[in-house]
Amino acid sequence: MKVALIGNPSVGKSLIFNQLTGVGVEVSNYPGTTVELKGGSTCYQREMIDIVDLPGIYSLDGTSEEEDLVRTFLQEGMVDAVIVVMDATRLERNLYLLLQVAEFGIPMIAVLNMIDEMEKEGLEIDTATLEYQLGIEVLETAASKGHNIEKIVPLVRSGARKATLTIPYDRSVEAAVRTLEKTLGAGRTESLWALQGIAKDGTVSEAASAITEQIEARHRMTVQQIIAANRHNYARTIADRVIKTRETKPGFDLDQLLTSSIPGIPILVLVLLSTLLVVFIVGAFLEETIVDAFQVILIDPLLAFGLPPLAETIALSLAIALQAGLGIAFPFVFIFYILLSILEDTGYMTRAAFLADKAMHRVGMHGGAIIPLVLGLGCNVPAVMGLRNLASRREKIIGAFLITMVPCSARTVIILGIVAAFVGILPALTIYLIVFLLITATGLLLSRVTPGEQFGMILEMAPLRRPQSRLVIKKSWLRMQEFLFIAMPMLLVGSIVLGLFEYIGITAMFEELIAPFSEGVLGVPPYAATALLFGILRKEMAFEMLAILGGTANLSAIMTSLQLYIFGLVSVLFVPCVSTIAVLFREMGGRITAAVTLYTVGLGIIIGALINQIFG
């Protein structure tokens, strides 16, 4: 049996999916977290139940990328049943989507999630009446507490059925549907799509468009509007019947503070700065502890051991790779992810989007684009995928350029681990400043030259919530896994290869070749240029390889402050990593990917050379 989770954005579909299948997908408190289909499965009474997590949508008749994806998914008829997840505190709007799903005629159940919040708000929903009104089973859950989640699969297995409701449409719409049904044999749902201009069948759409024109002339309203209004009215009727009490308790309005210019904007700046500072202070402390520990228990004994030369070179590369990877990258990345997860789960991101809307217009996008940009601080890959939430090609192109310039956590490792640790915290902050200025300049430039239309922001504000430590840790861990299980092995293999190369003498040859460029243009030793190239594989590898090539994690012993600064700056700007290039290619196509890559390479080298010229 195959079932799909469908519902409005941010209602808890992914959290439920994780709990049902044990697969880990992103769960965050802002609309548009999930942008792809994700599959998983669970076993119930010896039967395999496949579950699909869908992106959140507001309507099945919309034209956005996710809405199209979900509609096509349902049209293909690949699921036996759907689970419509609703946010109990926003029942009326959620019912609007449920009504559309019901029209598909797929067996379904409804899950009324966020019961905990509903109770807190003093709302009460009469589930029995709701079941009666919809003609399907309704289950109350609170996914964040795991309440009733175990009942979902049994219920959908035995109780999923087609809804019995019919939405009463405007006379003219009903007449048009009847005409299409009679003349062309189109189904009700298909006729409704055709009237709204989104049907797949050519003849039906053609016939419908003539009727549509006429209805619109008569009503002075588009057919979409009429249909939407009818559905909203019906949803309201149902909501009014089932919402029993509504006692509003006026409380302290935190939102008032967060979304006003003052103190909202100072708070925004403070949040960003303090995030960086906390990552640096806590990260640096952990780094020192771990690096020292490695030195004492691994590297010093190794050197004292006196292995044969080849073995010693390789063992030493391995040991330093471990020291740099676990000791330096891990603490910064992990702490950064924890803070980012907290930020995401509070619902603050949508407030930041609102405050930044005007400023983002200047760089050719709107406030909603703040969300992928901030996500980019964690990792560019999901951020680029988050671009799907932007409506126009123009915004996506600008967004692609800007996101790949955002210093991701791996680059934060470089900035904090190299520049802040060995040069000073102020110089590290100037790197952020330079990157920020470059991003702004790029945005200003691109907004002038990129063709295409621009839409404004229409963004649902996520409710403010206290993040749950369990969920925060789980999400950070999920994101860290990629670092531990992909980056670390890559680093270890890379370091062994490097050790071998060094032993044979290839490294020396390469360095001789690249020396004129690295020393002449950037003013850094040739092995630093080699390390930079490793940064293309994974950003933080530039740093770790520098340590391996230099033979020590104490970088100030081998390079001057200026050299370290330039190295840091160039590797932050220079080329997105391969994973980012791959996802850019998939989402945006070859041309944009090539343009972004060339642009960042050029930018990195030019800025590096400039700094070298001025201060060198």
Partner 1 sequence: MRLSQREDCLEALYKISSERNRPVGFVELSGELQMSDEEIRSILDELEREGHIARVAGGDIMLTDSGRQRGEGVLRKHRTLECFLTEMLGMNTDKASQEACRLEHDVSDETIDRLSLYIRDSCPGAYRWGKKKEREPSRAGMHSLLDFSEGDELRVVSMRGPGWKRRLMDLGIIPGQTISLKRKLRNQSIVVRVKQCDVALSPEIARSIFVEKRT
Ligand X SMILES: Nc1nc2c(ncn2[C@@H]2O[C@H](COP(=O)(O)OP(=O)(O)OP(=O)(O)O)[C@@H](O)[C@H]2O)c(=O)[nH]1
Query: In the range 400-459, which residues lie near ligand X by CB under 6 A?
Result: none
Cα(141)–Cα(134) distance, integer angstroms: 18
Q: Decide which of partner 1, ligand X, Mg ion, none touches 143; Cβ closer than 5 to 8 Å per partner kind.
A: ligand X
Minimum separation from the CB atom of position 383 to ligand X (A): 15
- Cβ(215)–Cβ(207) under 8 Å? no
In sequence order, the 6+-apart residues with CB closer than 8 A to the CB of 228 are 59
The number of C-alpha atoms within 13 Å of 81 and in the hemisphere containing its C-beta is 23
Name the residue whose CB lies closest to ligand X: 56
Residue window 246-285: x/- pattern of binding to partner 1, with contact defined by CB under 8 A: ---------x---xxx------------------------
Listed ranges 225-233, 440-448, 480-488, 556-564: which one lies at the site for partner 1 (CB under 8 A): 225-233
- The site that binds partner 1 (CB under 8 A) totals a number of residues, namely 59
SS3 537: coil
Which of 51, 84, 91, 583 touches partner 1 (CB under 8 A)? 91
- Cβ(15)–Cβ(27) under 8 Å? yes
34 binds Mg ion (CB under 5 A): yes
Q: Decide which of Mg ion, ligand X, partner 1, none touches 361; Cβ closer than 5 to 8 Å per partner kind.
A: partner 1
Place of tokens 């950064």: 336
Which of 172, 430, 560, 561 touches partner 1 (CB under 8 A)? 172
- Cβ(85)–Cβ(111) under 8 Å? yes
Token reading at 507: 């490294």
- The site that binds ligand X (CB under 6 A) totals a number of residues, namely 26
Q: Where are the beta strands (DSSP E) in 200-296?
A: 243-246
113 binds ligand X (CB under 6 A): yes
144 binds ligand X (CB under 6 A): yes
Query: In the range 349-378, which residues lie near partner 1 by CB under 8 A?
Result: 350, 353-355, 357-358, 361, 366-367
Which of 4, 6, 21, 29 touches ligand X (CB under 6 A)? 29
435 binds partner 1 (CB under 8 A): no
Minimum separation from the CB atom of position 67 to Mg ion (A): 15
DSSP string of 152-181, one letter each residue: HHHHHHHH-B---------HHHHHHHHHHH
DSSP string of 395-438, one letter each residue: HHHHHHHHHHHS--HHHHHHIIIIIIHHT-HHHHHHHHHHHHHH
Minimum separation from the CB atom of position 133 to partner 1 (A): 18
Q: Which of 109, 108, 88, 97 is nearest to 56 (CA)?
A: 97
DSSP bridge partners of 50: 2, 41
Cα(70)–Cα(4) distance, integer angstroms: 10
Residues of the shown chain interacting with ligand X in the complex, contacts defined by CB under 6 A: 7, 9-15, 27-29, 31-34, 55-56, 113-114, 116-117, 142-144, 345, 471
Residues of the shown chain interacting with partner 1 in the complex, contacts defined by CB under 8 A: 58-59, 61-64, 89-93, 96, 170-172, 175-176, 178-180, 182-183, 210, 213-214, 217-222, 224-226, 228-229, 232, 255, 259-261, 350, 353-355, 357-358, 361, 366-367, 391, 453, 455-461
